[in-house]
């Protein structure tokens, strides 16, 4: 029987009201962070790194497992992903870099997921998978339980066994994602786990209004022009949420957005859509047909390994640096 491990939960701010203070930086910059805007990723990474070091340093100084002295006993990670990272993965990579620069010895391990064709079988299933923040706790749990299947689990179990783990994530609402990950960690018999979030929604509020997360995610970039401007930014690392938001648009709005984007961005989008949702041809056929021809896409596809081999922010493979 797996032994229950020690868990600690940290966050920058607790949300206690449906009336979100969207003018404040934590809330104003959050949607851009979710879409992969790197300056926003950097903003939150700095704050989370400060929180992490302030909270953990007293704990670390009490024992022999100092981040400064024992690199093999500490791991920083985030929820697993398939091809396109979530914002949490980009945060984890940024925070890991900051900790290394500050002299903390810690490994980064970013698990990847198996892709299940059923995730894109129809528009309703796609919406459930990619608009997770709209749904109730029960629906979230059923979906996560069915589809959260990590690759190379035997190797991961060996790497995580008896380690001190820090999980980076953006928001704690119902706790379902943490619960599913915790079940894996219990099975892998890790030593302890610190969960670090930007926001935690107060428990009663989360139970009554789990869709509050969706309200926060979509509080910026509400019109097509601002969303097109975001997609055209050079300092944007496309996340799954950003591309899924694009695919959720009506066909005419999708066409309008494509007309605003330069050819290289269109080609990158087609490439990422095909890789994140490889069974999506029928579901997205009309929209994919509106994107530029495949010649640029093919060049990107052919050069993908060379162009991104050292791009840690992609984190396609498990990184054990």
DSSP string, 50-104: HHHHHHHHHHHHTSS--TTT-GGGEEEE---BSSSPPHHHHHHHHHHHHHHHTT-
Residues 6+ apart with CB under 8 A from 86: 78, 79, 170, 239, 240, 241
Give residue 89's pLDDT band: very low, low, confident or very high (50, 70, 90).
very high
Residue 293, classified by CB atoms within 10 Å of its CB into exposed (0-12), middle (13-18) or buried (19+), is: exposed
Contact (Cβ atoms closer than 8 angstroms) between residue 5 and residue 191: yes
Domain residue spans in the chain? 6-221
Question: At which residue do the structure tokens 């400060």 appear?
Answer: 50
CB 225 within 8 A of CB 257: no
Give the burial class of 289: count Cβ atoms within 10 A of its Cβ; 0-12 exposed, 13-18 middle, 19 or more buried.
exposed
- pTM across the whole model: 0.84
Tokens in use for 8? 């600690």
- Give the whole-number percent of the chain exceeding pLDDT 70: 74
pLDDT of residue 109: 97
Residue 9: pLDDT band (50, 70, 90) is: very high
Maximal CA-CA distance, the chain = 60
Angle of the 176-188 helix axis to the 153-160 helix axis, nearest 10: 80
Q: Distance between CA atoms of 162 and 144, rounded to whole angstroms?
A: 25
Residue-level pLDDT at 210: 86
Protein fold of 6-221? Rossmann fold (3.40.50)
The kind and range of the H/E element at 178 are helix 176-188
Q: Give the pLDDT score at 132.
A: 55
Distance (Å, rounded) from C-alpha 96 to C-alpha 86? 16
Q: Work out the average pLDDT over 114-127.
A: 60
Of 234, 297, 277, 283, which is closest to residue 254 (Cα–Cα)?
283
What is the mean predicted confidence (pLDDT) over 40-55?
A: 94
111/104 Cα distance (integer angstroms): 22
Q: Which pLDDT belongs to residue 61? A: 58
274 token code pair: 């095909």
Beta bridge partners of 74: 164
| Residues in a beta bridge with 172 | 200
**pLDDT on residue 170:** 97
pLDDT class of 276 with cuts at 50, 70, 90 = confident
Pairing state between β 164-168 and 6-15: unpaired
Q: In this predicted structure, what is the pLDDT of residue 138? A: 57
Higher per-residue pLDDT: 193 or 6: 193
Cα–Cα distance, 124 to 127 (Å, whole number): 5
């Amino acid at each position: 029987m797996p032994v229950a491990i020690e868990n600690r939960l940290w966050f920058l701010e607790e949300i206690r009201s449906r009336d979100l203070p969207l003018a404040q930086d934590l809330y104003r910059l959050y949607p851009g962070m979710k879409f992969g805007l790197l300056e926003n990723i950097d903003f939150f990474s700095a704050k989370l790194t400060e929180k992490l070091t302030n909270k953990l340093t007293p704990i670390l100084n009490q024992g022999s497992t100092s981040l400064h002295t024992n690199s093999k006993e500490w791991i920083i990670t985030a929820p697993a992903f398939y091809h396109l990272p979530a914002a949490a993965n980009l945060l984890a990579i940024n925070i890991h870099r900051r900790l290394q620069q500050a002299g903390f010895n810690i490994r980064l391990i970013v698990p990847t997921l198996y892709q299940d064709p059923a995730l894109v079988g129809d528009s309703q299933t796609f919406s459930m998978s990619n608009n997770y923040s709209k749904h109730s706790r029960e629906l979230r749990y059923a979906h996560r339980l069915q589809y959260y299947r990590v690759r190379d689990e035997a190797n991961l179990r060996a790497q995580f066994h008896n380690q001190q783990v820090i999980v980076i994530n953006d928001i704690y609402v119902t706790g379902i994602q943490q619960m599913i990950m915790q079940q894996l960690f219990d099975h892998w018999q890790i030593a302890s786990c610190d969960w670090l979030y930007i926001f935690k929604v107060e428990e009663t509020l989360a139970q009554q209004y789990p869709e509050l997360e969706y309200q926060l995610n979509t509080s910026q970039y509400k019109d097509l022009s601002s969303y097109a401007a975001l997609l055209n930014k050079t300092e944007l690392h496309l996340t799954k949420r950003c591309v899924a938001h694009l695919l959720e648009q009506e066909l005419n709005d999708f066409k309008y957005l494509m007309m605003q984007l330069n050819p290289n961005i269109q080609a990158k989008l087609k490439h990422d859509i095909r890789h994140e949702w490889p069974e999506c041809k029928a579901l997205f056929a009309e929209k994919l047909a509106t994107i530029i021809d495949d010649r640029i896409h093919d060049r990107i596809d052919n050069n993908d390994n060379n162009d991104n081999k050292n791009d840690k922010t992609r984190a396609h493979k498990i990184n054990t640096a």
